[in-house]
Amino acid sequence: MFKNKNKNNQRKGSKLYISKKSYNNPYFKNANKLPNKSFSVSVSLKAKIVIAFVLTFIVLFFWFMFYSKYFLIHDINVNIERVNNIGRVSEPNIEEMVRGELRRKFVFLPANNYFLFNENKIYKKLNKDYAFEKIEVNKVFPNKLSIHLKEVSYALVWHEDEKYYYITTDGNIISEIKLDEIKQIFPIIDNKGRYLIDNNKINNRDDHLKLAIALYKEFKDTNVFNIESFLIGNQNDSTLTMKIFEGPEVYFNVNGDTQSQSEKLLLLKNEKLRGALYDKKYIDLRYGDMIYYK
């Protein structure tokens, strides 16, 4: 093998030339530059400030909406429309009951907050515990409550266990009343059978109550009879007894036709017995067209 000595000699004697020219590559211009630390810290700080501001706003907004006195119901206006002035419930009684409900907690939130308070809850309680013909409960923005109530337009007096009660036409007890305070515009019903009051209501006597009201209105309006009271007997008894003042007891069938039984009584008074009717002990109208008396 032959080596090219000249070539090796050329390499040994060659010099390294470095160009002084500067070359720029636009695609790698910023490739080796380090990120600006001050800019990164600045962005992070701004983000933290924004997040802190948003969280603070949410907390303050939450507090203002649910805990601020501005939205806490404190003004309660109760108006009771008196009809017969028989109710023993006054405006302060209703207000005290409502404030008791408002003092409750809604989990950890105040129950009297305008946005959390449910007026339907007060409506249900009033409807359950009292006897009103009309109940209106309304929130008034931002912190008021308006309650309008109307007494029942008609009532009866229920006598049971030596106590007297004003009751509605459907048997709900309005209030207890003393005998000497009873208004004479309402019929008295004496319960001579087992006790029927349960859960502030007269049970299983709807038909008797309806008939008593119908008879009382009819005879009182026409001044035919002065009704002293009505009597109810045992549970399975379909008889309603009407006691005429200084006169006989009249037996009605609550399942019979009211008008037919009333007409028989009037016929007996006007055409047969006349004034002698008041001397009788009883008159029985319960059996069809027949009339029994003694």
For 111, phi and psi rounded to 5 degrees? -70, -20
Rounded-to-integer distance, Cα 14 and Cα 24, Å = 29
**Strands of the 144-151 sheet, one edge to the other:** 75-81, 144-151, 132-140
In Å, how far are 19, 162, 171 from 70, measured between CA atoms?
81, 51, 43
Nearest of 89, 139, 92, 149 to residue 114 by alpha carbon: 139
pLDDT of residue 2: 45
Run of H or E residues at 148: strand 144-151
Position of tokens 């048997």? Answer: 171
- The ranges of the chain with pLDDT < 50 are 1-3, 5, 7-10, 12
pLDDT of residue 1: 45
Q: Name the residue ranges covered by the structural domains of the chain.
A: 69-151, 156-293
What number does CATH give the domain 69-151?
A: 3.10.20
pLDDT of residue 113: 93
pLDDT of residue 225: 86
Nearest of 247, 264, 246, 171 to residue 213 by alpha carbon: 171
What number does CATH give the domain 156-293?
A: 3.40.50.11690
In Å, how far are 67, 136, 169, 276 from 213, measured between CA atoms?
52, 27, 8, 26
Q: What is the DSSP letter of 83?
A: S
3-state secondary structure of 6: helix
Do 69-151 and 156-293 share a fold? no
3-state secondary structure of 136: strand
**pTM confidence score:** 0.62
pLDDT of residue 124: 92
Nearest of 65, 230, 101, 81 to residue 152 by alpha carbon: 81
